[in-house]
Structure 1
Amino acid sequence: MKTWNHALAFMVCCSLATADASAAPPERSKPPVPGPLKPFTIRQPTVFTLKNGLTVWHVARKRAPLVDVLAVIDAGPLHDPPDRPGVAKWTADLLTEGSGGMRAVEFSDAVQSLGAEISSTSEIDHAWISLHVTSARLPAALKLYAQALMKPDFAEAEWGRIRGQLFGEMMYQSQEPQELAQLVAQRANWGSEHRLGTALGGTPRALVKTTPVDLKAFYVARYRPDATTLIVVGDVEQGPLKKLLEAELGGWSASGPPPAAPALRGPPPRTSRALYTVQVPDAPQTVLRVGIPAPAGTLPFTPDAEVMNTLLGASFTSRLNTSLRETHGYSYGAHSRVAASRSGTVFSVMTSVNAPVTAPALAEIFLELERIRTPATDEETVRARNVAALTVPSAFDSGRATANQWALFAAQRLDRARLQQFVDQAQRVDVKALQGAALRLVRPNEAAVIAVGDLAQHGKGVPGLERAIALTVEDLLPGLAEAGAAMGGEG
């Protein structure tokens, strides 16, 4: 019987092998064709207002027992006193460095004992303070969060410590080509008289002059419930949340009428190309930036602009990255972005290249900037719009990411419905719309070109080098040497 079973098994195997040999081999020369995009619906926040005027955006999210809280305060760098650029950021930084009579280390220990995270700083349009905690410990953590937001101490000792750290960061900026390039780009794109044209983190000269009295005055004027949007995302229902927020934040009140809003000025128009340089002797790479101010009234986060930028430089397979990295080997990577704020929009290209190929790398960048202004292929357009649309769901893959995404909309005062509309409209961007966005935003003859590196050795062939606007560290971080002397004397 066993012999018969073995023979039968052998015949079956032989027949299967014969069938497999006669069948066509699977196609492996091309990747499988992706299926159709699945619909993605963005859960819109439920909006309510506390009795003190604090607006709350709430998104219930049950995937994990976590809650993220993010206060978006209209107290960003645009509100800085003219003679103290940096006060907005330093005020935000000090929120978590001692409050309600607790020293910074005591506050930190209390937060960590709950397994929570509380942090604060500022962006271009706003200041923020965030909380990340398990839902079970939300009530206890929210007490500490409210204390930091409502009762910061601005203690002299804590400010002295933080000021030393800030000066260290400025010293780092002065020696790091990437940081210098960012400072030059701000100045080139916005002009030296615009707040966004100077270091968003403040200047050394302002740092030396600023006292806790200045920070407290800025806080009293700008930190108000009627100038704040509180975003809450996570495992908490609206009823209990509202009760908890009224208990912890309901006592926060504004002092007097709201201060006047700063005048919003866009980047100054440019009629010709300009080159800005910073000489860094013996630098092995040249940091390159290209900035082009968008026309006044340009809306942020539009589908045609985002799809165009995806094709040009916002994805790994973009034209810029393919050219500079894959084809020519000039760089580890190159990318572009459309950076928007309430003041205006700037289109930028960013890369670092091997110093000896600075000139040919710049030539390739401008070749791609000119090429994007001509019609793309249908295949490129479909790929770019799919990538642009598919990046939106990834912005909501966690509670923290969801809170951050809505914070941008709150800070820039954008219509919340635009986010869902973007997903739908991006899929309808065609070749003509893509080219229209490029013609509107990518205007190579009006570009500011920034080059930070050893241009004395490797600048040959860079167009306009003899007419370049050469900047120094003192231009970008005024008062660095005197601040070092003053703070060294304090030590």
Structure 2
Amino acid sequence: MDFHPQPKPGTASPWAFPAPERGKLPNGLTVLRCHRPGQQVVAVEVSLAAPLEAEPQGLDGVATIMARAFSEGTDKLSAEDFTAELERCGATLDAHADHPGVRLSLEVPASRLTRALGLLADALRAPAFPEGEVERLVRNRLDEIPHELANPARRAAMALSAELFPADSRMSRPRQGTQETVERIDAAAVRAFYEAHVRPATATAVVVGDFTGVDLDHALAETLGAWSGTAAEPRPVPPITADDTGRVVIVDRPGAVQTQLLLGRIGADRHDRVWPAQVLGTYCLGGTLTSRLDRVLREEKGYTYGVRAFGQVLRSGPPSPAGPGEGAAMLAISGSVDTASTGPALKDLWQVLHTLAAEGLTESERDVAVQNLVGVAPLKYETAAAVAGTLADQVEQHLPDDYQAWLYERLAETGTVEATAAVVNAFPADRLVTVLVGDAAQIEEPVKALGIGEVTVIPS
């Protein structure tokens, strides 16, 4: 029997993260553009310097309501007409608020880019913020809060933030506000927040896609370039402080058949030279199905469907002559186990951390992590939206435009010893705040017996 010859792999093409072209419009808006041939769906990300810590006292969530209200009409179009115009362009417009600021994300076919940019510009230039629509958005947000509190993973994240950060820190409270604060938000509060913080001079637009046949300079000038506003002094960036003394908080859920685990602390962000090694080591610890945590807790013991370790940047301040700005990342381990296995699972998790500190990572673990993190990068950034999102992240974190390319180079160069040291320092067994959402009556005593810190039980 004759078989067709087995295909042979071709020569890998060199790849690097796309380098943007940086410029500025006359109104002060910073623009990063990146021509990506073949990407007929153009992605636009607009970063606004309206961080959560700028929200007025007692109005947590006003940034989120403002972000959602950008698509609820302008001085030219009602909410319904604005949505209809977006649909005619084949465009989508999303917005959200987070600690660094507010982000608007637009995707549109390149052939309709100018029209969609005009709608985006109108939303930024003259949002209507109609009272009825803002009231509806507030009601929607209030409806979401009970569902978030009922979700064990979300509840664990709220408890960890409240435990780590001082009570007067915005980071200690839910990003999108609480029932008490959201109830106070009205159209006047949204308008006041917009007028205080939204202006082109402190905003950045990232545009990525195939610009063949598109006069991008003209399109930007006619749309986002028509947005006007005053200049503003840079906001002072308060330092990030956290208490990562090893302790356990149990959020009591009587009758729960599972326990949600979340262990965390604050560590280095992307401005720290240790970040690439920390990323690599964290991936080896809990970044995939073959990581150490999954190998022990999932494959060997059968406690869980999966446990993950990760680092998430919370906020980075602008660099100063003395060094990088104030910033931090949340370093965490997350997963869920059945209630009866809570104590044994935590014991084995701590044993994984102790073994890692004593023996280090293996060369094989390091090699697999590099292949998975660096080797898949060309696929990860196939779409314009993925490139635009990463560039916008760099803007918000005050990183250079070539940061992502530098990061991949460093990941490929990082050795096993360096990665081991970084992950051991990132997850010291005695400096982790542990949050457990589960049945306190069943898990409190087994957890106390582990001796991993003082145990406190709070209501759900």
Q: CA offsets per residue over residues 103-144 of structure 1, 9 Å max, x none?
A: 322211221122111111112212111211111111222221
What CA distance in whole angstroms lies between the structure 2 residues aligned with 1:327 and 1:465? 23
Please state how far the C-alpha of 1:96 moved relative to its aligned partner: 1.0
The change in CA–CA distance for 1:129 and 1:337 in structure 2 (over 3 A counts) is: same
What CA distance in whole angstroms lies between the structure 1 residues aligned with 2:339 and 2:376? 33
If each structure's helix is expressed as a fraction of its own residues, which one has the higher value?
A: 1
Amino acid at match of 1:122: A
What are the within-5 Å matches in structure 2 for residues 370-409 of structure 1? 370-373=354-357, 374-409=359-394
For these two proteins, the number of residue pairs brought into alignment is 443
Where does residue 29 of structure 1 map in the other structure? none
Please state how far the C-alpha of 1:471 moved relative to its aligned partner: 3.1
What CA distance in whole angstroms lies between the structure 2 residues aligned with 1:331 and 1:35? 40
Q: Are residues 1:359 and 2:343 paired?
A: yes
Please state how far the C-alpha of 1:295 moved relative to its aligned partner: 5.8
Q: Secondary structure of the residue that 1:344 maps to in structure 2?
A: strand
Please state how far the C-alpha of 1:302 moved relative to its aligned partner: 2.3
Q: Are residues 1:137 and 2:121 paired?
A: no
Give the % identical residues: 25
What CA distance in whole angstroms lies between the structure 1 residues aligned with 2:15 and 2:290? 24
What CA distance in whole angstroms lies between the structure 1 residues aligned with 2:392 and 2:354? 35
Please state how far the C-alpha of 1:296 moved relative to its aligned partner: 8.8
Where does residue 346 of structure 1 map in the other structure? 330
Amino acid at match of 2:115: A
What CA distance in whole angstroms lies between the structure 2 residues aligned with 1:44 and 1:179? 36
The change in CA–CA distance for 1:384 and 1:78 in structure 2 (over 3 A counts) is: same
Where does residue 260 of structure 2 map in the other structure? 287
Contact 2:206 2:388 in 1 (8 A): yes
Q: Secondary structure of the residue that 1:83 maps to in structure 2?
A: coil
Q: Compare CA radii of gyration and give the structure with the larger one.
A: 1
Contact 2:135 2:186 in 1 (8 A): no
Q: Name the stretch that deviates more: 156-165 or 141-150.
A: 141-150
Where does residue 471 of structure 1 map in the other structure? 458
The change in CA–CA distance for 1:62 and 1:313 in structure 2 (over 3 A counts) is: same
What CA distance in whole angstroms lies between the structure 2 residues aligned with 1:64 and 1:311? 33
Q: Secondary structure of the residue that 1:367 maps to in structure 2?
A: helix
What CA distance in whole angstroms lies between the structure 2 residues aligned with 1:90 and 1:301? 36
The change in CA–CA distance for 1:296 and 1:242 in structure 2 (over 3 A counts) is: closer
Where does residue 184 of structure 1 map in the other structure? 159
The change in CA–CA distance for 1:35 and 1:189 in structure 2 (over 3 A counts) is: farther
Contact 1:267 1:344 in 2 (8 A): no
- Equivalent in 23, 45, 58 of residue 83 of structure 1: 58
Amino acid at match of 1:411: E
Unpaired runs of 5+ residues, structure 1, are 1-12, 21-33, 474-491
Amino acid at match of 1:355: T
Please state how far the C-alpha of 1:279 moved relative to its aligned partner: 0.6
What CA distance in whole angstroms lies between the structure 1 residues aligned with 2:108 and 2:380? 20
What are the within-5 Å matches in structure 2 for residues 66-81 of structure 1? 66-81=41-56
What CA distance in whole angstroms lies between the structure 2 residues aligned with 1:129 and 1:330? 40
Contact 2:42 2:107 in 1 (8 A): yes
The change in CA–CA distance for 1:328 and 1:36 in structure 2 (over 3 A counts) is: farther
Amino acid at match of 1:267: T
What CA distance in whole angstroms lies between the structure 1 residues aligned with 2:10 and 2:211? 36
Where does residue 300 of structure 2 map in the other structure? 327
Where does residue 425 of structure 1 map in the other structure? 410
What CA distance in whole angstroms lies between the structure 1 residues aligned with 2:233 and 2:254? 47
Please state how far the C-alpha of 1:259 moved relative to its aligned partner: 5.0
Where does residue 244 of structure 1 map in the other structure? 219
Please state how far the C-alpha of 1:390 moved relative to its aligned partner: 2.2
Q: CA offsets per residue over residues 439-472 of structure 1, 9 Å max, x none?
A: 3212110110000011212333113699423333
Contact 1:48 1:55 in 2 (8 A): yes
TM-score (norm 1): 0.85
The change in CA–CA distance for 1:154 and 1:418 in structure 2 (over 3 A counts) is: same
Unpaired runs of 5+ residues, structure 2, are 4-8, 317-326
What CA distance in whole angstroms lies between the structure 1 residues aligned with 2:373 and 2:188? 46
What CA distance in whole angstroms lies between the structure 1 residues aligned with 2:453 and 2:171? 27
Q: Secondary structure of the residue that 2:96 maps to in structure 1?
A: strand
What CA distance in whole angstroms lies between the structure 1 residues aligned with 2:152 and 2:273? 29
Contact 1:79 1:262 in 2 (8 A): no
Where does residue 199 of structure 1 map in the other structure? 174
The change in CA–CA distance for 1:450 and 1:386 in structure 2 (over 3 A counts) is: same
What CA distance in whole angstroms lies between the structure 2 residues aligned with 1:368 and 1:92? 42
What are the within-5 Å matches in structure 2 for residues 9-408 of structure 1? 39-236=14-211, 240-255=215-230, 257-259=231-233, 261-270=235-244, 272-294=245-267, 299=272, 302-340=275-313, 341-342=315-316, 343-373=327-357, 374-408=359-393
Q: What CA RMSD, in Å, does the superposition of the two structures yield over aligned residues? A: 2.5
Q: CA offsets per residue over residues 345-387 of structure 1, 9 Å max, x none?
A: 2210000111110111111221222223242222222222222
The change in CA–CA distance for 1:468 and 1:289 in structure 2 (over 3 A counts) is: same
- Equivalent in 422, 444, 459 of residue 459 of structure 1: 444
The change in CA–CA distance for 1:125 and 1:44 in structure 2 (over 3 A counts) is: same
